Amino acid sequence: MTHPLTPGLAAGRLPAEEIAANFSDLHPAYDPHEAHVAADRCYFCHDAPCITACPTAIDIPLFIRQISTGQPEAAARTIFEQNILGGMCARVCPTETLCEEACVREAAEGKPVEIGRLQRHATDALMARQGHPFARAPETGKRVAVVGAGPAGLACAHRLAMKGHAVTIFEAKEKPGGLNEYGIAAYKTTDDFAAREVDWLLGIGGITIDHGRALGADLTLDGLRDAHDAVFLGIGLGAVNALGIEGDDAAGDAVDFIADLRQAADLTRLPVGRNVVVIGGGMTAIDAAVQSKLLGAEAVTLAYRRGRDRMGASRFEQDLAASRGVRILTNVMPVAIAAGAVTLEYTAEVEGRVQGTGERLDLPADQVLRAIGQKLVPVEGLEIADGKIAVTGPGRTGVEGVWAGGDCTPGEDLTVVAVAEGRDAAEDIHAALMA
C-alpha cells in the first residue's frame, strides 16, 4: 500500500464515467478492414529487420501476409509458435523501440507498420475461438517444477506441457500472471485480459498452479529438486530499492500503487494525492505517474536524476505521460521528504556519475512514489552476478537440474524477453530430460 504524507490522499477525485473513459484501451483493436489496410503497408522484406528486433523472433512478415490474405487465425498460430503470450506482448511491448523501430517503413517514412496492433488483431481472433491451438505430446512421465507464474514461468510451463511433461507452477500470489497481472498500467490491458490469457494458456493441459507458495518461505530449492526431474525459476525481482534519504519511509512504492490499482474493483474508491511526485525514469514510473493523473491528481511530477535521453521509458511513453499532463523533470534527485513536500536537488553527470549541484527546489507533495527499480531476493545456493541469478546458454544455473529466466536473470526486464527466456529454457530442459 502507498503511504500518505498528509490527509491530501483521497478517493473519488473524478466521476466514475470520467475515470472509465480515462482507463479505456490505449490502442483499441483494429476492425477487419483496418487490419487489412495496415497489413498492406508491409513490404514483406526478405531477411526482415523486424524479425531480428523481436526477442522471440516471430516471423512478422509471414503473419502480416496471412492477415492481408484474410487468415488472422493462421497469423496467430505463427505468432504463438514463437510467443505463447503474444496477445499480451501485442499490448504492452515497447514495439516503438523493437520491431517497429526496425521497420523499413519507419526508416523510409517515419511511420512504421503497426506491428503491435496487427499482432493483437491476429491473437485476439484465435483466442476468441473455442479450444487451444496446440496439442500435448504423449506423457513423458517427467515432472518439472516452475517457480513463479509470471511471463517467463508461464512460457516455460506451456512449452514443457506441450512436450508431454507434467508441470507444477508454484506461485506466491493469489493470481497468476506476474507483472502482467499486477504490474502493468490498466489502460494497456483492459477487460481482465491478463487473467483471460492465463486461462487460455492453461488450456494446453498438464499444468497445475499451486498458489501461496514462495521460494524461501515454504519451498526450498533442494526440496524442489528432490521432488522433480527439473526446476525452472521465474521468480522476478521481489524487493524494491530504497531512496536512502531522509523521510524515505513516508514514500510509497510505485509497484504497490500499480498493483492496488490493477486489483481494485472500483477505481473511484482508490485514493490518490492532489500533488503526486514519482521518483524514477522507467516504465513503472511512467505507468504510476500517468495513472495518478487519470485518477484525478491535480499535479503529477516525474523526477529523474539523469537527462531525458537516459530514461528507461521509451520516448513514446514519455510523450504519452506529457500528453496526459504529467510534468517531467530531469537532472534532479530527491534529498528529503517531509510533510507536504519533497526536496529535489539539481544534478550533473561527472565522468558518468550523478552528482548534486547544491541547487535545490521544493515541490508540494501529498503522495510520493518511488520507482527506482527492484532487486533480487537472493536464492541460497545460486551464484549471483550483477544482482541477478547467473545463467549460461538457455537459462542454465550453476546448480544441476535448475534453470532460470525472466527478470531474475541478466538482460532487459521486458515481458517479451521473459517469454523468450522461458521458452528457450523449456526447450533445453526437454532436451536434458529426454537425453
Q: Per-residue pLDDT for 158 more than 70?
A: yes
**CA gap 142, 430 in Å, rounded:** 9
Q: Per-residue pLDDT for 2 more than 60?
A: no
**Is the Cβ–Cβ distance between 18 and 285 less than 8 Å?**
no
pLDDT of residue 239: 85
pLDDT of residue 114: 98
Average pLDDT over residues 249-265: 96
Average pLDDT over residues 36-41: 97
Average pLDDT over residues 281-303: 97
Average pLDDT over residues 190-212: 97
pLDDT of residue 6: 52
**CA gap 66, 75 in Å, rounded:** 5
For the entire predicted model, the pTM comes to: 0.95
Average pLDDT over residues 341-357: 95
Q: Which long-range contacts (CB under 8 A, 24 or more apart) does 13-18 make?
A: 13/272, 13/274, 13/295, 13/296, 13/297, 14/268, 14/295, 14/296, 15/268, 16/266, 16/267, 16/268
**CA gap 275, 8 in Å, rounded:** 8
pLDDT of residue 7: 62
DSSP 392: B
Q: Per-residue pLDDT for 3 more than 60?
A: no
| CATH class of segment(s) 240-373 | alpha beta
pLDDT of residue 1: 41
**CA gap 116, 58 in Å, rounded:** 12
**CA gap 166, 431 in Å, rounded:** 15
Q: Which residue has the higher pLDDT, 74 or 380?
A: 74
Q: Which residue has the higher pLDDT, 8 or 150?
A: 150
143-238+376-433 matches 32-127 in CATH topology? no
Q: Per-residue pLDDT for 131 more than 90?
A: no
| CATH class of segment(s) 143-238+376-433 | alpha beta
Model confidence band, residue 216 (pLDDT cutoffs 50, 70, 90)? confident
**For residue range 283-292, what is the model confidence (pLDDT) as tens digits?**
999 999 999 9
Report the CATH fold assignment for 32-127: Fumarate Reductase Iron-sulfur Protein; Chain B, domain 2 (1.10.1060)
pLDDT of residue 5: 52
pLDDT of residue 218: 86
Domain ranges of the chain: 32-127, 143-238+376-433, 240-373
Percent over 90 (pLDDT), the chain: 93
**CA gap 303, 361 in Å, rounded:** 12
Q: What is the mean pLDDT of the chain?
A: 95
**CA gap 275, 297 in Å, rounded:** 6
Distances (CA, A) of 294 to 113, 139, 273, 315, 326: 29, 49, 12, 20, 10
Model confidence band, residue 359 (pLDDT cutoffs 50, 70, 90)? very high
pLDDT of residue 4: 44
Average pLDDT over residues 230-238: 96
